[in-house]
Amino acid sequence: MKIYLIGFMGAGKTTVGLELARRLGIPFFDLDELIVSSEGMPIREIFAEKGEPHFRRREMDLLRSTQHLEHGVIATGGGTFTFEENIQFVLAHGLSVYIQAPISVLMRRIGEKAAERPMFRDEASLRELFQYRLRYYKMADITLDIREEESVAEITERMIMQLPKELFGALSRRPGHNG
Ligand code: S3P
């Protein structure tokens, strides 16, 4: 079973994804990291030197390569689940969980790492982008609302409680797994 984490920049897809994978005992993949290692340069440089369309093509290719995984938690980038083909792919190949954080939290977190994020121009355009993307994020199978003061462990715990029970059956039927 594959779980795809969806959400805007700063939602915590990577940190929560790592913890979720650890708790479920399945591998973790971060789409942004896969792009960075396959291109050999940071995201900001990929955007600057090769352009956003190139980044989006790599993002789509690497997302598609996850279809061969049997089990995994995959943290997507903030833009991944806003393109029709990617949305259809994720809906067909796994369970999608939208991590919905208050916009004030997102803005603060994005601002802290603004230099790394090519999509960051100013707060007003970021808010606009968020509003536009919301329609796509809401297509995820599950929406998890997170609160500012919640820890990663608490968020992960609540996420696990919302996962369909059949999923745990699929995981425990893995060869060599006794649970
Ligand atoms: C992007 C979000 C980033 C990264 C790239 C583009 C976006 O991922 O994929 O900078 O379009 O929102 P995070 O959401 O992990 O920051």
Q: Which atom of ligand 1 is nearest to the CA of 117?
A: 10
- CA 7 – ligand 1 centroid, Å: 9
> Tens of pLDDT along 109-158?
998 888 888 988 889 999 999 999 999 999 999 999 999 889 999 999 99
Q: Report whether residue 78 contacts ligand 1, using a CB cutoff of 6 Å.
A: yes
Cβ atoms within 10 Å, residue 61: 12
Instruction: Give the H/E segment covering residue 156.
Output: helix 152-162
Q: Measure 116 CA to ligand 1 centroid, in angstroms.
A: 9
Tell me yes or no: is domain 2-165 CATH 3.30.70.340: no
How far lies 88's CA from each of 14, 22, 72, 81, 176, in Å? 22, 27, 18, 9, 32
**72 Cβ below 6 A of ligand 1:** no
Distance 158 CA to ligand 1 centre (A): 24
Note the pTM of the prediction, 2 decimals: 0.95
What pLDDT shows up at residue 23? 96
10 alpha carbon to ligand 1 midpoint, in Å? 9
pLDDT of amino acid 148: 86
User: For the segment 35-80, what is each residue's pLDDT rounded down to a tens digit?
Assistant: 999 999 999 999 999 999 999 999 999 999 999 999 999 999 999 9
How far out from the chain centre does Cα 76 lie?
A: 3
- Give the residue, 171 or 160, on which the prediction is more confident: 160
Mean pLDDT of the chain: 94
The token duo for 59 is: 């993002």
Could you tell me if the CB of 12 is within 6 A of ligand 1? no
Answer whether 42 contacts ligand 1 (Cβ < 6 A). no
Domain residue limits, the chain: 2-165
Which token pair is 71? 């089990």
Q: Is 170's pLDDT higher than 90? A: no
